[in-house]
Amino acid sequence: MRAIDIPAKEAQSHNNWVRSGEATRARFGSVDVFDYRPRHSSGYYFDERPQKNLVVLHYTEGWIWGDIPTLTKDDFRVSVAFVVARSGIVYRLFPEDRWSYHLGKEQDVTGGSEFNARRSIAIEVSNVGALELVGSDLKFVGRTYCTTAETGFYQKLAQPYRGEQYFATFTAEQYTAVSALLDQIKSTYGIERTFLPQEKRFAVFESEPAADAYRGIASHVNYRRTGKTDIGPAFDWARIGA
């Protein structure tokens, strides 16, 4: 799927979900959302209400029409409260005061996957993440995402990050939606817009106590030692007030 073709495919998927009744318009405080409830599944989160004091940002490494079905597979319990499409549409997969695993396997997680998953509200931003340069094409899972001439769709790093040098960019609508979600989360749960300093923003917490004690806004890489790059260096933190 080429980046230029994603908006039409996203819109088609959205309309299909609305027509089927799986996605229904709702509100999270001042934020317009679509509550997504798959007809085939309900066991993808825990119906418990732990105290919330952390937000973790992710990107999906995929496209919205595959991301949401994957995140709502029955009994996997690996999901997130919110997914933000490239269009800026926000899907709420389960009530944000509940929880699901979203940080990964215990042995790869600094701070413990359950402890920090329980206390956090996770936001996935639809984005393919790292891209592979093949000639003049930038590819995701072997398919061309964009070309090097389409500079709005990717960012080339001066130095590789976790082995990757090219990353897909985010849309203006996604930054607006994420910022609005953070505002409402602060209003509802008192989680301040506290961000890690620039020199630590793309690094794993130095210890388990530090990971467990942090309050505010973090990203997946702060908790994962291996295997992940989200929310990645192409994410412009300044656009959400960091």
Question: Per the domain annotation, does 7 fall within a domain?
Answer: yes
Q: What is the pLDDT of residue 189?
A: 98
Contacts by 150-154, CB closer than 8 A, 24 or more apart? 150/3, 150/4, 153/3, 153/4, 154/234
10-residue stretch averages of pLDDT, the chain, 242 residues long = 97 98 98 94 91 98 96 88 98 97 78 88 98 98 97 97 97 98 98 96 93 97 92 96 89
Domain boundaries, position 180? 3-129+164-240
144 domain residue, yes or no: no
pTM for this prediction:
0.96
CATH of the domain at 85: 3.40.80.10
- Tell me whether residue 12 is in a domain: yes
Instruction: Tell me if 158 is assigned to some domain.
Output: no
Report the pLDDT value the prediction gives residue 200, as an integer from 0 to 100: 94
User: 210 to each of 112, 198, 215, how far by Cα in Å?
Assistant: 11, 17, 10
Query: Does some domain include residue 19?
Result: yes
For the chain, the domain total comes to 1
- Would 122 be classed as within a structural domain? yes
61, part of any domain: yes
Domain membership flag for residue 218: yes
Instruction: Report the pLDDT value the prediction gives residue 107, as an integer from 0 to 100.
Output: 65
